[in-house]
Structure 1
Amino acid sequence: MSQAHQHRSAHRTPRWRRPLAGLAVAATALTGLTALGPTAGATAAADPAVPFGSHIRPYAAGTLKPSGAQATLDQKVVDYYTKWKAAFVRQNCGHGWYQVISPDADHPYVGEAQGYGMVIAATMAGADPDAKKIFDGLTKWTIDHPSSVNRDLLAAEQDSSCKSVDGSDAATDGDLDVAYGLLLADKQWGSSGTYDYKALALKHIAAIKKDELNPSTNLLKLGDWSSRDDEYYYVSRTSDWMVDHFRAFRAATGDAAWDTVRTAHQNQIAKLQSSYAPNTGLLPDFVVNTNTTPKPAPGKVLEDANDGAYWWNACRTPWRIADDAVTSGDAKSLAAARKLNSWIKGKTGGDPKKIGVGYKLNGTQISSGGEAAFFAPFALAAMTDPGSQAWLDALWNRMLATPVDTSSYFSASIQLQVMITASGNHWVP
C-alpha cells in the first residue's frame, strides 16, 4: 500500500495542511444569481424540474426548520452559495472542464470536491442560471479523469496541470456523490442532452458496487484500490455511509442489493453508538475488523492518531445520517440523529460556540476553536427533534454569522450543503 493510498482521504484536512503553492485560481466570471422571492421558481435558462426554493419534495412529518419566513431561509442559502461559487468553482486547463478547487487539500483537485460540486450545482438549479453549464463541465471532468482501477469511477486527485496523480485510483466518498449528483441531474434536466446523466449514473453505481463495496460485509471500502490482499480491505470510513444515497441507488437501478447495503450500514451505526459511544452517539472516523467484530480504529490506521475518534471525517456523520432521517423518516436514521443531537445540545448547554473541533467517543473534546465542518452538521440532527427549535435556531444563526472560509473548500462545502438541507431544499432523486 503506497503512501498515496494512505492519505487518499486526507483531503478533508485540518488547519495544518497548507494550500499548495502556485495553484492556478483564476476565477470564472460569476454571473448574477436569481434572487429568490416568496414564490421561487425555475429559470428559463435551466428549466429544472425541481427548482431551488420550490419545496415540492416535502420532508418527513415533524421535521423542524429554522425559524423565519421560507423565502428568507432560501435567500440565505443563495447568498452563501454565491460566495462559495466565487471562492471555489473554476474553469482551469480548458477542455470545457469545470472544477471545484481544494486549497486545503494535498492536491488542487480532489474527487470529493467534484462530487460536492455536482450535488450542489444540480440542487441550486433554478437559483443559478449557470447550474447546468457548471454541472456539465464537472461531468466532463469526471469522464476525462477516470480511475486507473475502474474507468467508470473518478480518479481521486489531480495536480495544478489537471493531471491525475498518486496512482490515479478512486476514493469512495467522491464517487458516491458523483453518482448521486448524476441522478439529481437526470431528474432536473432529463438525459437527452449533451450527457446521458442516467446512463452515466448507472455505470458509476455499478462500478461502486463492483470495486468500492466489500461483498462479504456489504460495507463500503475506502476506494477501488483496496483489494482482498491488503490490510485495508476490512476498513470502512463512517462519513461514506450515505444512507439516502443508497436509497437513491436502489430506486435508480431496481437492484435490491442496495437495500442490503443500506441496512448493513444502518445496523453498524446503531451498534457503534451503543457499544462504543452509548452516552454521545459519536462515530469514529474509521472502523476496522468489519469482517469480524467492527470497532473504532485503535489509533492511526489511515490518517492520524485520531482515526478512532470523531475527527475530520466523522464530523460529517450527523449531516449524512440526518439527510436520510428528514427525507425518509426512517426510524433507524431518526434514532441515530436524535442520539447525537441530545448529547451535543447537553454538552454545550445550547451554545453552538462551544462545539469543539473533534471529540473522543466518550465526549472528551480534542481541540478548541470553531469550524463549520464540526458545528454545522449538528443543525441537521437538531431538525429531527421536536423539542430542539431554539437549539436549531442557534445553530442556523451560527452558520449565518460564519463567512465562507476561502481557504477551506471542506468546511465551506459542508456548511453550504447543511444549509441546503436545513432550509428544506434537499431531495432524493
Structure 2
Amino acid sequence: MKNVKKRVGIVLLILAVLGVFVLSVPMDKASAAGVPFNTKYAYGVTSIADNQAEANAMLRAEWEDWKSKRVTSNGAGGYKRIQRDASTNYDTVSEGLGYGLLLAVCFDDRAVFDDLYRYVKSHFNGNGLMHWHIDANNNVTTHDGGNGAATDADEDIALALIFADKLWGSSGSINYGQEARTLINNLYNHCVEHGSNVLKPGDMWGGSSVTNPSYFAPAWYKVYAQYTGDTRWNQVADKCYQIVEEIKKYNNGTGLVPDWCTASGTQASGQGYDYKYDATRYGWRTAIDYSWFGDARAKANCDALTKFFARDGAKGIGDGYTIQGSKFSNNHNASFVGPVAAASMTGYDMNFAKELYKETVAVKDDEYYGYYGNSLRLLTLLYITGNFPNPLEGFNPITPSPTPTQQSNRILLLLHRLKSRFFMEM
C-alpha cells in the first residue's frame, strides 16, 4: 500500500510538471531584440509606468503612428528620411535623423534604420558629419549654413550605430561598428573645442564663447569612451557638468538651464538665455547618465528640475521660463512634458513621476507642429518605461525566461528522471 501511494504521488508530480510546462510556454513573448527591452537600469528607477504590458503595447502603436508620419522616401534620393511637418514644408534636419535612428533601432526595425543611415551618409560634409538642414527636395540649404553639422544630431546618430552593432552585429551591408567609430572620431575632432573640452554646437562654430546645454549627453560620451577606448570623451562629459555648475550661479537653484550660454554659464552674445525649446531636452539627456552610470551629478541636476516643476504639477508645465524660474509662456505641450518625466527617473518624487508619466502619454502635439514635440515624446516614453538600455550592457529583459526549446529540454529531463524513479520503485 505504501508503494502504491508513492507511485500515485509520483504520477501526480509528473502531471503537475506537465501543467507547469504548458502554462510557462510564452504565448506571445516579445523579443528582447526590440521593444519591450524592459531592461533594468543599473541605477534609479527602471519604469514609471503603472502597467508595463500596457506601456509596451502603447509604445509599439506609437512607433507605427510616428513612422507613418515622419518616415518618407519622398525627396530622399532613393533612401528614407525623417520629414518634419507642415510648419516647415516637410523639410529634414539632421536632428531628426538622430531621433529616427535611435527609435528605429529600439523598435528593432533594421530596414528603416539602414535606409535612414544611407540617407545620412549621402549628406555627410567634408568633416564626415551630416549637413544639418536639407529641404524636401534633397537639397542642402544655403541661407542658413545647412552644410554645417549640428552636434546633437551626430552624437545621437553615433549612439544609434552602437546600438545597431550590439543588437544586429556588423557583418551585414553596413558595418555599424566601423561607422560608429569613424563618426565618433569625427565628432571629437570637429565638435569638441580642443584644450577646453567644451562641446561645440556645430563643427563650424561655437565653443567656450557659445555652447548649448541641451546637447550635453554625458552618458553618450561615457559609452563612446568604453566603445572606442578613447577616454578623452570622459573629460568632455566632465566639462558638461562643470558648465552646468557655472549656470547654477545664476539660476536661483531651479535646476533650469538656458538654450544657449558661454562655458562660464553666462549669456552668449546674440543667443537666448531662457529655458525654452532647446533647453527642454536637458533633463532627458542628463537623467540617462544616472540610469546607466549612476553619476551623482546627473541625479542632483535632475532632482532640482523635478522639484522645480512639481510646484505646478504635470499639467502646469509651460513652454517658457527664465532660468530663475519665472514662467512667461503657458503653452502645454509634448516638447516640455516628456523631458521633465525623464528627469524624474532619478527617483526624487515618485508620486510626481507617476503623474508625469500619465501626462506624457496623454499629451500629443497637433500634427501641424508635430515633428519636434512628438519625437521627444516617443524618445522619452521609451526611456521612462525601461526600454532605452545602455547598449554596452546588452538587451536582457528584467526577468529573462528560457526559450520554449530550453523549457522543453528541461522538462523532458525532469520527466525522464521521474520516470526512472517511478519504475525503480514498482
Give the TM-score of the pair, scaled to structure 2: 0.80
Structure 1 residue 406 corresponds to structure 2 residue 380: no
Q: How many residues align?
A: 361
Structure 1 residue 171 corresponds to structure 2 residue 150: yes
**How is 1:44-63 mapped onto 2 (pairs within 5 angstroms)?**
50-55=33-38, 57-63=39-45
Q: Of residues 107, 129, 145 in structure 2, which corresponds to 1:124?
A: 107
Q: Which residue of 1 aligns with 2:270?
A: 300
Give the drift of 1:40.
4.2
Structure 2: distance between partners of 1:71 and 1:398: 18
Structure 1 residue 146 corresponds to structure 2 residue 124: yes
Q: Which residue of 2 aligns with 1:266?
A: 241
Structure 1 residue 87 corresponds to structure 2 residue 69: yes
- 8 Å contact from structure 1 (residues 98, 138) kept in 2: yes
- 8 Å contact from structure 1 (residues 296, 309) kept in 2: no
Q: Point out where structure 2 has 5 or more consecutive residues left out of the alignment.
A: 1-25, 392-426
Give the drift of 1:63.
1.4
**How is 1:88-127 mapped onto 2 (pairs within 5 angstroms)?**
88-93=70-75, 95-103=77-85, 104-105=87-88, 108-125=91-108
Structure 2: distance between partners of 1:164 and 1:400: 35
Q: 1:120 is matched by which residue type in structure 2?
A: L
Give the drift of 1:95.
4.0
Give the drift of 1:405.
3.4
**Other structure's SS at 1:208 match:** helix
Q: Which residue of 2 aligns with 1:193?
A: 172
**Other structure's SS at 2:261 match:** strand
> 1:106-135 CA distances to partner (integer Å, 9 max, x unpaired)?
87010000111001101111xxxxx10100
Q: Of residues 189, 194, 202 in structure 2, which corresponds to 1:223?
A: 202
Q: Of residues 249, 252, 255 in structure 2, which corresponds to 1:281?
A: 255
**How is 1:24-39 mapped onto 2 (pairs within 5 angstroms)?**
none
Give the drift of 1:141.
0.5
Structure 1: distance between partners of 2:27 and 2:51: 9
**How is 1:347-366 mapped onto 2 (pairs within 5 angstroms)?**
348=312, 351-366=313-328
Q: 1:279 is matched by which residue type in structure 2?
A: G
Q: 1:402 is matched by which residue type in structure 2?
A: V
Q: 1:337 is matched by which residue type in structure 2?
A: C
Change (3 A) 1:95 1:210: same
**Other structure's SS at 1:264 match:** helix
Structure 2: distance between partners of 1:389 and 1:38: 33
Q: Which residue of 1 aligns with 2:407?
A: none
Give the drift of 1:64.
5.5
Q: Which residue of 1 aligns with 2:398?
A: none
Structure 2: distance between partners of 1:322 and 1:61: 10
Q: Which residue of 2 aligns with 1:338?
A: 303
Q: 1:180 is matched by which residue type in structure 2?
A: L
Structure 1 residue 396 corresponds to structure 2 residue 357: yes
- 8 Å contact from structure 1 (residues 99, 114) kept in 2: yes
Give the drift of 1:94.
5.5
Q: Which residue of 1 aligns with 2:138?
A: 162
**Other structure's SS at 1:296 match:** coil
- 8 Å contact from structure 1 (residues 316, 377) kept in 2: yes
- 8 Å contact from structure 2 (residues 334, 364) kept in 1: no
Question: % of aligned pairs identical?
Answer: 27
Give the drift of 1:80.
1.8
Give the drift of 1:395.
1.2
Give the drift of 1:91.
1.2
Q: Is the helix fraction higher in 1 or 2?
A: 2
Q: Of residues 41, 55, 58 in structure 2, which corresponds to 1:73?
A: 55
Stretches (4+) displaced over 6 A: none
Give the drift of 1:375.
1.5
- 8 Å contact from structure 2 (residues 244, 265) kept in 1: no
Q: Of residues 325, 329, 333 in structure 1, which corresponds to 2:294?
A: 329
**How is 1:245-256 mapped onto 2 (pairs within 5 angstroms)?**
245-256=220-231
**How is 1:239-250 mapped onto 2 (pairs within 5 angstroms)?**
239-250=214-225
Change (3 A) 1:174 1:308: same
Q: Which residue of 2 aligns with 1:26?
A: none
Q: Which residue of 1 aligns with 2:18?
A: none
Structure 2: distance between partners of 1:345 and 1:170: 36
Give the drift of 1:68.
2.1
Structure 2: distance between partners of 1:108 and 1:297: 30
Structure whose CA Rg is larger? 2
**Other structure's SS at 1:266 match:** helix
- 8 Å contact from structure 1 (residues 58, 327) kept in 2: no
**Other structure's SS at 1:195 match:** coil
Q: Which residue of 2 aligns with 1:29?
A: none
Give the drift of 1:358.
1.2
Q: Which residue of 2 aligns with 1:378?
A: 340
- 8 Å contact from structure 1 (residues 309, 360) kept in 2: yes
> 1:129-177 CA distances to partner (integer Å, 9 max, x unpaired)?
xx10100001101111112x41x11111111211212241211111111
Structure 1 residue 238 corresponds to structure 2 residue 221: no
Structure 1 residue 41 corresponds to structure 2 residue 2: no
Give the drift of 1:383.
1.8
Q: Which residue of 1 aligns with 2:389?
A: 427
Q: Point out where structure 1 has 5 or more consecutive residues left out of the alignment.
A: 1-36, 43-48, 126-130, 302-306
Q: Which residue of 2 aligns with 1:16?
A: none
> 1:341-392 CA distances to partner (integer Å, 9 max, x unpaired)?
111112x1xx211111110011000211201111211111212125x22211
How large is the Cα RMSD of the aligned pairs?
2.0
Change (3 A) 1:61 1:240: closer
